[in-house]
Homo-oligomer: A and B are copies of this chain.
Amino acid sequence: LNNKPAIILVSPQLGENIGMSARAMKNFGFSDLRIISPRDGWPNIDAINSSVGAVDLINNAKIFSSIQDAICDLEYIYATTASTRSMNKRCIELSHLQEEPKKLGILFGRENSGLTNNEISFSNKILFIETEDDFSSLNLSHAVALACYKISRIYETHKIFSTQYEESATCQDLNHYLNYLEKTLDKTNFFKISEKRELMIRNIRNIFTKIDDLSKTEINILYGIIKALDKE
């Protein structure tokens, strides 16, 4: 188990949602899965089958019969909801969630009715997953995925992309290319209205300068296109 929050499913009904929740947890580096009173008992073959590569989380899931037992070692509890509640408890929107330097647990309610007010009372804060007001019922595993994703972003320091970029074209490379293009177009009737020549050249430049991260290889391809057309 790592230091990521515990994900606590409260009386989930469908094994498939448990499995898909486990998969989403693993996608974002979570490993501590706790389940309170799963409706269809435990182990659950649907949970195993739908967990895909996260069957280790299913096998290591801890099963409890009460919320008290499930959260006893944790330090701070969020109760998720997608609908607003009249309750004198602070509510934080998922998109505004900040780092909380405590041992966290996050409660997710049953598919058909969410968490009861009694269950929410065990939480320190309500974690509100923002949805459309008139269609707020999230699939359980979607709610887990959203919370795990957001929290993983809080934990993660900005990672540099490992994409291998090609050698970039310089501005000079592009200018040479555009001059070549212009010269080639001069041989055609492209610039036939001479007053508009300058404007047209600028328009062309504006198009090509909007190509992000143009590489030398790509410039050569662009040259190749003109040369090919010019020979016709």
Contact = CB atoms under 8 A, between A and B. Distances in A.
A11 to B, nearest CB: 19
Interface residues of A, number: 50
Interface of A: 20, 23-24, 26-29, 52-54, 82, 84-91, 95, 128-132, 135-139, 141-142, 145-146, 149, 152-153, 156, 159, 161-166, 212-213, 215, 217-218
A23 B159 CA distance: 31
Contacts of A129: 149
A162 B52 CA distance: 39
8 interchain residue pairs of minimum CB distance: A142-B145, A95-B153, A27-B131, A90-B212, A86-B164, A29-B132, A26-B135, A88-B166
B139 A23 contact: yes
B136 A218 contact: no
A20 B215 CA distance: 40
Contacts of A53: 135, 137
Contacts of A163: 84-87, 91
A213 B90 contact: yes
